[in-house]
């Protein structure tokens, strides 16, 4: 009941009337800010435009901004949203730890804050968090590897290298831990061998999920540790890091007749990675239906749902959350998952 009250109070979200004296039923005067991290990753363009479209369809004004992965730019975009009088600001942070002060200002100005996909840390100004089940993303990647390599029946040893996400993104820890919970026992038995020795998150992390940094790191690993050995599995946290890793491997002769591509994981089912899954360069990805996440935050006239009230502590409070279930996608099921569901058209690949 208490939780319900919190929502009714905090998440006057996009509801009709107001604690602030402003009549939200005249939607034309209500503006919603949507602050996305960057346009260089396909998904944030999609998430941003899905929300913009849904909000505009409901009659709201929308200020949609992309921050080019720059902290300062995101801060100034949020400041503008406050100055414009945005009643709700939906944010995917560039850096989870840099928004405390600006969000205090937003809260004092009466704006409601939704943390979108990535949890914003160290602030009590967030009212709601909508994301995918981030631990499940990692678990699915780990289980896919476990199953395809038949690790449960004792097969191996296989050489594995790990590429993780950006440490300023709280999701990275969940992705990494989810996958490592499955894979760590096999590293301990020696069925999986990490020749570089890089098994901690910090050693495997890729700042801002950048393709070229992932590429450079994998090139060094291959040159230093795989002169006489074959890399069998590359756990990559998402599609941009997988893209960098694939390019590094191709430049080192992988994909040629007698140097088979390793099993490579990803996340986001980006168009360009789906092409590589179909051509056999990448093995799988995790599909996050961004339409479902946008629907979760763009609710009109009803309380946003929660299904997780314990796992997402941002250092100041446990943030009421809704987790959307992701699913794996590979060559065997992509038509059913991505095309039959209307997410992509067949000719996009």
Q: Which residues bind ligand GAL (CB under 6 A)?
A: 41, 43, 117-118, 169, 171, 209, 238, 267-268, 288
**Minimum CB distance to ligand GAL smaller for 87 or for 288:** 288
Phi-psi region of 194 (alpha: psi -120 to 50; beta: other; left: phi over 0): beta
Sorted by sequence, the CB contacts under 8 Å of residue 312 that are 6+ apart come out as 119, 129, 131, 318, 319, 321
The SS3 call for residue 54 is: helix
- Measure CA 291 to chain center: 14
Cβ(274)–Cβ(349) under 8 Å? yes
Q: Minimum Å distance from CB 260 to ligand GAL? A: 27
Count Cα neighbours of 231 within 13 Å in the Cβ-side half-sphere: 31
Q: Which is nearer to ligand GAL, 12 or 137 (CB)?
A: 137
Nearer to ligand GAL, 47 or 232 (CB): 47
Q: How far is the CB of 157 from ligand GAL (least distance, A)?
A: 31
Place of tokens 């009549």: 23
Residues 158, 121 contacting (CB under 8 angstroms): no
Number of Cβ within 10 Å of residue 283's Cβ equals 22
Determine the straight-line distance between the first and last CA of the chain, rounded to whole angstroms: 48
Could you tell me which of 272, 258, 277 has the C-alpha nearest to residue 332? 277
* CB of 94 or CB of 151, closer to ligand GAL: 94
Q: How far apart are CB 132 and ligand GAL at their closest, in Å?
A: 7
Rounded least distance, CB 56 to ligand GAL, Å: 24
C-beta of 270 vs 281, nearer to ligand GAL: 270
Q: How far is the CB of 79 from ligand GAL (least distance, A)?
A: 23
Instruction: Tell me how far, at minimum, the Cβ of 21 lies from ligand GAL, in Å.
Output: 36
**Residue number with CB closer to ligand GAL (112 or 288):** 288
Alpha carbon distances (Å) from 42 to 38, 142, 278: 9, 24, 18
Q: How far is the CB of 224 from ligand GAL (least distance, A)?
A: 27
Alpha-carbon distance 295 to 177, whole Å? 28
Q: Are 186 and 146 in contact, with CB atoms under 8 Å apart? A: yes
Q: Which is nearer to ligand GAL, 106 or 286 (by Cβ)?
A: 286
Which phi and psi (to 5°) does residue 9 adopt? -75, -55
């Amino acid at each position: 009941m208490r939780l319900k009250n919190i929502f009714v109070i905090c998440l006057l979200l996009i509801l009709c009337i107001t604690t602030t004296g402003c009549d939200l039923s005249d939607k034309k005067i209500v503006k919603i800010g949507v602050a996305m991290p960057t346009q260089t990753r396909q998904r944030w363009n999609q998430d941003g435009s899905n929300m913009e479209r849904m909000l505009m369809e409901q009659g709201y004004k929308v200020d949609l901004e992309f921050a080019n992965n720059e902290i300062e730019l995101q801060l100034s975009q949020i400041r503008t949203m406050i100055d414009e009088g945005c009643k709700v600001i939906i944010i995917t942070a560039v850096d989870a730890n840099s928004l405390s002060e600006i969000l205090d200002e937003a809260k004092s100005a009466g704006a409601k804050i939704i943390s979108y996909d990535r949890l914003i840390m160290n602030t009590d100004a967030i009212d709601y968090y909508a994301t995918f089940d981030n631990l499940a993303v990692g678990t699915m990647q780990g289980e896919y590897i476990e199953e395809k390599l038949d690790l449960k029946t004792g097969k191996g040893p296989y050489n594995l290298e790990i590429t993780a996400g950006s440490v300023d993104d709280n999701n990275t820890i969940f992705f990494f831990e989810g996958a490592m919970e499955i894979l760590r026992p096999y590293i301990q038995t020696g069925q999986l061998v990490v020749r570089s020795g890089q098994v901690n998150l910090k050693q495997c992390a890729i700042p801002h999920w950048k393709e070229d940094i992932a590429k450079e790191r994998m090139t060094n690993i291959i040159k230093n540790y795989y002169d006489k050995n074959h890399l069998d599995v590359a756990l990559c946290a998402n599609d941009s890091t997988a893209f960098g890793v694939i390019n590094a491997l191709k430049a080192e002769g992988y994909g040629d007749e007698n140097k088979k591509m390793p099993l490579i994981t990803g996340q986001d089912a980006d168009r360009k990675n789906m092409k590589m899954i179909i051509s056999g360069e990448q093995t799988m990805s995790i599909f996050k239906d961004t339409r479902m996440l946008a629907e979760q935050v763009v609710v009109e006239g009803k309380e946003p749902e929660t299904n997780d009230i314990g796992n997402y502590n941002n250092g100041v409070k446990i943030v009421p959350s809704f987790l959307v279930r992701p699913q794996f996608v590979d060559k065997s099921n992509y038509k059913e998952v991505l095309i039959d569901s209307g997410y992509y058209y067949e000719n996009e690949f």
